[in-house]
C-alpha cells in the first residue's frame, strides 16, 4: 500500500513539475519576479524547448558570470532597458591564470545555445584596460544581438565557431582586437568605438568560408585623442572582413589593414570596402592587397545572403520582431 502511494505521489510531482514549464520568466533583483538572478532563471528553463522561452530582466546591475548552455536553445534574454539592465563581471587574463588560453575563460556572458536572442541589455567586462577580458562570447548558430551595449577593452566580443550571428543597433567599444573570432557575423547600424590607437577586428575565418565579419551602415568612431586605428588584422590567415555603406571617422589610418606579420595572409585573407564615407574612408593609400568591391560584388553582402540558413531562412527577421 505504501509503495503504491509513493509511486502515485512521485507521478503527481512529475506532473506538477511539467505543468510549471513556462515560456516566460521574469528576473528582478528586488524579488518581485520569478527569480533574483539571471543564471537561476536560465537553469530552470526546459532543455531544448519546443517553443521560444523568454527571460525578461528588470533594470538593475547584475554582477555575475552568465552562461546559456548548449541545451538552452531558443532562449531570449530581454532587458527592460539597454542602459539600465546591466550584466557585468571583471574576469581578465591574469586573474584567470590558467595559462596561454586564459582569455577564453573570461567572458561575462557566454552563449552556447542555438537561436538565442539578446535584446535591450548592457553586457560589460569591467576589468578595465588590463589585457584580454571578454564581455560576450558567442559559440552558437543563429544568434541575434539587438539594441545592446557591449562594453570592454581588449577582446570585448568573441565570435567563435562556424555559426552565423546578427548584430543590429548595437554599441560596441574596445581597445585591441575587440571584435574577433571565426564566426560569420553581420553588423547592421552599429556604432564601433575605438578607445585606443590599435586594431578593431581580428577575424579567424575558416578556409573556404564565404563571409567573415560584414559591417553594413555602421559608424566607426573613436574616443578623444585617438587617431591611429586600423580596421583589422588576420588572427588566422584566411580572415575575411568587409565594410560597406558605413562612416569611418578620421581615426582610421590611411592603410586601414595590417597583415599581423603574416606575409602569406596578404594572399589568403580578404579585406574589402565599398561606398563608405567620412575622412577615414579615403582609399588612395590603402594596402595594395585589400579589395575595393564593385557594385556587383557589393550586392552579395546583404544580410539575407550573409546570414542565410537552409533550414531556417528567415531566422534573423524573426529575431528582429521579438519583443
Q: Across-strand partners of 271?
A: 241
Tell me if 195 sits within 8 A of 175, measured CB to CB.
Answer: yes
Residue 201 to residues 67, 69, 189, 193, Cα–Cα distance (Å): 24, 26, 17, 12
Q: Which residues of 241-270 are buried (b: 16+ CB within 10 A; e: fewer)?
A: bbbbebbbbebbbeebbbbbebeebbebbb
Map grid coordinates 528582478 to a residue: 28
One of 155, 225, 282, 309 is an active-site residue; which one?
155
Would you tell me how many other CB atoms lie within 10 Å of the CB of residue 160?
17
Tell me if 181 sits within 8 A of 160, measured CB to CB.
Answer: yes
Can 90 be counted among the known catalytic residues?
A: no
Task: Return the closest-CA partner of residue 124 out of 164, 91, 78.
Answer: 91
One of 40, 115, 129, 177 is an active-site residue; which one?
177
Can 115 be counted among the known catalytic residues?
A: no
Strands of the sheet with 219-222, listed across from one edge: 60-63, 85-89, 122-125, 149-151, 171-174, 191-194, 219-222, 247-248
Query: Strands, E, within 69-156: which ranges?
Result: 75-79, 85-89, 109-111, 117-119, 122-125, 136-138, 143-146, 149-151
Phi, psi of 2, deg, nearest 5? -65, -40
The 3-state secondary structure of 64-86, one letter per residue: CCEEECCCCCCEEEEECCCCCEE
Catalytic residues, which ones? Answer: 155, 177
Amino acid at each position: 500500500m505504501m509503495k503504491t502511494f509513493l509511486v502515485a505521489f512521485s507521478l503527481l510531482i512529475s506532473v506538477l513539475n511539467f505543468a510549471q514549464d513556462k515560456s516566460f520568466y521574469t528576473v528582478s533583483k528586488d524579488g518581485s519576479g520569478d527569480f533574483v538572478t539571471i543564471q537561476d532563471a536560465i537553469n530552470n528553463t526546459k532543455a531544448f524547448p519546443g517553443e521560444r522561452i523568454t527571460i525578461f530582466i528588470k533594470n538593475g546591475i547584475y554582477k555575475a558570470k552568465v552562461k546559456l548552455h548548449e541545451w538552452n536553445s531558443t532562449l531570449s534574454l530581454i532587458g527592460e532597458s539597454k542602459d539600465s539592465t546591466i550584466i557585468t563581471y571583471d574576469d581578465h587574463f591574469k586573474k584567470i591564470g590558467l595559462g596561454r588560453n586564459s582569455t577564453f575563460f573570461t567572458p561575462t556572458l557566454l552563449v552556447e545555445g542555438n537561436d538565442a536572442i539578446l535584446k535591450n541589455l548592457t553586457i560589460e567586462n569591467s576589468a578595465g584596460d588590463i589585457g584580454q577580458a571578454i564581455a560576450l562570447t558567442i559559440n552558437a548558430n543563429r544568434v541575434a544581438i539587438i539594441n545592446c551595449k557591449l562594453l570592454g577593452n581588449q577582446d570585448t566580443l568573441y565570435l567563435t565557431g562556424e555559426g552565423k550571428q546578427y548584430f543590429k543597433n548595437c554599441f560596441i567599444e574596445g581597445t585591441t582586437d575587440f571584435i574577433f573570432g571565426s564566426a560569420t557575423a553581420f553588423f547592421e547600424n552599429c556604432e564601433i568605438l575605438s578607445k585606443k590607437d590599435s586594431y578593431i577586428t581580428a577575424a579567424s575565418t575558416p578556409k573556404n568560408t564565404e563571409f567573415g565579419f560584414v559591417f553594413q551602415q555602421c559608424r566607426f568612431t573613436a574616443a578623444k585623442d585617438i587617431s591611429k586605428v586600423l580596421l583589422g588584422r588576420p588572427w588566422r590567415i584566411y580572415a575575411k572582413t568587409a565594410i560597406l555603406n558605413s562612416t569611418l571617422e578620421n581615426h582610421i589610418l590611411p592603410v586601414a589593414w595590417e597583415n599581423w606579420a603574416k606575409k602569406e595572409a596578404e594572399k589568403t585573407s580578404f579585406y574589402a570596402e565599398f561606398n563608405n564615407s567620412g575622412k577615414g574612408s579615403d582609399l588612395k593609400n590603402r594596402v595594395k592587397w585589400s579589395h575595393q568591391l564593385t557594385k556587383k560584388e557589393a550586392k552579395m553582402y546583404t544580410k539575407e545572403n550573409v546570414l542565410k540558413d537552409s533550414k531556417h531562412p528567415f531566422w534573423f527577421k524573426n529575431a528582429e520582431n521579438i519583443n
